[in-house]
Chains A and B, each alone.
Chain A
Amino acid sequence: MANRKFYLYLTLVTISTGFLIAASIESTKARNTERQNEKQFQQETQLNERILAEKKENHQLEVQLLELQRKVSQVEEALAQRQSEAAEILSELEAARMMAGVVPVSGPGVIVTMQDSEQAAASADVTKYIVHEQDVRLMVNELRAAGAEAISINGQRLVSNSEIRCVGPTIIVNGVKSAAPFVITAIGDPATMVGGLHLPGGVMNMLQDYVKIDIQEKEHVEIPAYVGDGKMDSSAS
């Protein structure tokens, strides 16, 4: 009987010894990797903080820019009211600015959302069911052909020298990267644009079996301005 008890104790003690050994090994190992990661982690937090601060500042700058644009247009309008020549130039100027994409615009339009098809994961040929850059270009092209006056992709205004590129699951427009879904906003006649997309042999015909496309007609959409026209200005000749 005493022997039995002894075995029981022995078992308990050895189990806990084993536990302790393993736990201590694990924790020293973890501490080592932690120390290694700590530097990286610090760097990451630092970067994250800088990004956040930068974003905040950029937002303030955006507000400031809008304010300034409004002030300028007030001056311009005041001038236009006093002088007929100025009025003519102003209407031309406003049109040119809208076409150049340097001012935010609003109006009726459509919002097209393109997404990888849910079948993509299940299909053997994955590439068939994901959105490619040529699909986005095709969509944009078709919207343009249907008379879109201003277009943005994920909040990036398309200007006369914008590019549309895909790298992996992200899209790059005007050098700015954003992730799927790709939301294309266009201002123009909604009925014409939707009709254009649905033409037999048109974009929807070509793409809707492969990727998920959602088209919404809207009474009012807003498209932001293109920020930073340094690229164009440097070509001043």
Chain B
Amino acid sequence: MITKNRKITFILSLISAIIGIMFAIQLKSNMNPVPNESRSIAELRSSLQKELEKHKGLLADISKYNLLFYQYESSLNEGDSVSVMKEELARAKRMAGMVGLEGEGTVVRIQDAVIPEPPPLSDLEEHSYIPNAVIDEDLRWLSNILFANGAKAISINGHRIIATTAIRNVGEDIQIDTKTIRPPYEIKALGDPDVLISGLKLEGAEENLKLAGKQLIIEKHDKLLIPAYTDARVIRFMKPVKTKGES
């Protein structure tokens, strides 16, 4: 009788201890639903980097305008001031793409892929590929890759791409702004050629266009001339903001 009693006591203690532990754990896990909202350090670091870059850009802008202001103020006569203004105009035009630029860069040519020998018939039937035409998105995509890799200026078949340039399919052809361009397409980009080329390779531009039956020919150039945007654009809608701007 006593031994039985002991046993029951023992079992009971064990069970209740387990229950107690379970309670405690449940309570713990219910009480704090771990506030793990902290973003990764890497991400924070990259946003800090962006801010620092912006800071640098702003400082550069400010010093430029400071210099300009100083130049205006210190010009001895009106002729001097006008020449300062002319310089400023040249700079703004360069940024707008209304001035031709020269420097190192790459030329990307899109050509029909040369098929070395006609593949066997069965093969042909299997992947009976049709050489597609290059479409507007291809050109937009390529120039976007180039810009993302630091291209300063781009022209396609001699037409300079500026902030408002549209590249679109019109019927069979591709138009840049309102000018029709015809294959072979040639994209000229100003920038560090190695960076530009590796950017294209990284994106798989060659492979992608191979699927369309095209071949990319990429060349490095030490001296490349990107023409100016020549159309006269009439500004009808936008006006510079001159009010006290709270950005």
B23 within 8 A of A: yes
Are B20 and A57 in contact (CB-based, < 8 A)?
Answer: no
Are B238 and A107 in contact (CB-based, < 8 A)?
Answer: yes
Q: With A7-B9, A163-B147, A176-B50 in contact, is A64–B237 under 8 Å at CB?
A: no
Are A134 and B238 in contact (CB-based, < 8 A)?
Answer: no
Q: With A89-B89, A145-B166 in contact, is A48–B61 under 8 Å at CB?
A: no
B241 within 8 A of A: yes
Q: Tally of A-B residue pairs with Cβ under 8 A? A: 304
Q: How many Å from the CB of A98 to the closest CB on chain B?
A: 6
Are B20 and A231 in contact (CB-based, < 8 A)?
Answer: no
Q: Which residues of B contact A198 (CB under 8 A)?
A: none
B95-137 residues with Cβ-Cβ distance < 8 A to A are 95-98, 101-103, 136-137
Residue of A nearest to B92 (CB): A96
Are A160 and B97 in contact (CB-based, < 8 A)?
Answer: yes
Residue of B nearest to A6 (CB): B9
Are B162 and A160 in contact (CB-based, < 8 A)?
Answer: yes
Are A159 and B95 in contact (CB-based, < 8 A)?
Answer: yes
Are A98 and B235 in contact (CB-based, < 8 A)?
Answer: yes
Main secondary structure on chain B at its contact with chain A?
helix
Q: Which residues of B contact A159 (CB under 8 A)?
A: 95, 163
B66 within 8 A of A: yes
Residue of A nearest to B178 (CB): A145
Q: Which residues of A contact B216 (CB under 8 A)?
A: none
Residue of A nearest to B89 (CB): A93
B118-170 residues with Cβ-Cβ distance < 8 A to A are 136-137, 140-141, 144-145, 147-148, 150-154, 161-168
Residue of B nearest to A60 (CB): B58
B47 within 8 A of A: yes
Residue of A nearest to B170 (CB): A145
Q: B46-77, CB under 8 A of A: which get 1 and which 0?
A: 11101111111111111001101100110000
Q: How large is the interface on A (under 10, 10 to 19, 20 to 34, 35 or more residues)?
A: 35 or more
Q: Which residues of B contact A237 (CB under 8 A)?
A: 101-103
Q: Which residues of B contact A103 (CB under 8 A)?
A: 240-241
Query: Within the assembled complex, what's the spacing in Å between the Cα atoms of A96 and B28?
Result: 65
Are B57 and A227 in contact (CB-based, < 8 A)?
Answer: yes
Q: How many Å from the CB of A44 to the closest CB on chain B?
A: 5
Are A165 and B144 in contact (CB-based, < 8 A)?
Answer: yes
Are B247 and A187 in contact (CB-based, < 8 A)?
Answer: no
Query: Within the assembled complex, what's the spacing in Å between the Cα atoms of A158 and B13?
Result: 74
Q: How many Å from the CB of B73 to the closest CB on chain A?
A: 7
Query: Within the assembled complex, what's the spacing in Å between the Cα atoms of A7 and B16?
Result: 11
Are B103 and A188 in contact (CB-based, < 8 A)?
Answer: no
A23 within 8 A of B: yes
Q: Which residues of B contact A26 (CB under 8 A)?
A: 24-25, 28
Q: With A160-B97, A229-B95 in contact, is A54–B51 under 8 Å at CB?
A: yes
Are A15 and B23 in contact (CB-based, < 8 A)?
Answer: yes
Interface centre among A14, A90, A105, by most chain B C-beta atoms within 10 angstroms, is: A14
Q: With A86-B85, A235-B101 in contact, is A19–B233 under 8 Å at CB?
A: no
Q: How many Å from the CB of A121 to the closest CB on chain B?
A: 22
Q: Which residues of B contact A71 (CB under 8 A)?
A: 69
Are B86 and A137 in contact (CB-based, < 8 A)?
Answer: no
Are A228 and B51 in contact (CB-based, < 8 A)?
Answer: no
Residue of A nearest to B25 (CB): A22
Q: How many Å from the CB of A79 to the closest CB on chain B?
A: 5
Q: Which A residues contact B (CB, under 8 angstroms)?
A: 3, 7, 10-12, 14-23, 26, 40-41, 43-44, 47-48, 50-51, 54-55, 57-59, 61-66, 68-73, 75-76, 79, 82-83, 85-86, 89-90, 92-109, 133-134, 137-138, 141-142, 144-145, 148-151, 158-165, 172, 175-177, 187-189, 222-224, 227-237
Q: Name 10 extra pairs, CB < 8 A, besides A85-B82, A96-B96, A145-B168.
A: A22-B21, A41-B38, A59-B247, A79-B78, A82-B78, A86-B78, A104-B245, A151-B164, A165-B144, A176-B50
16 intermolecular pairs with C-beta atoms under 8 Å apart: A18-B16, A21-B24, A43-B41, A58-B51, A90-B85, A96-B95, A104-B241, A141-B167, A151-B163, A176-B54, A177-B50, A228-B56, A229-B60, A230-B57, A232-B94, A235-B103
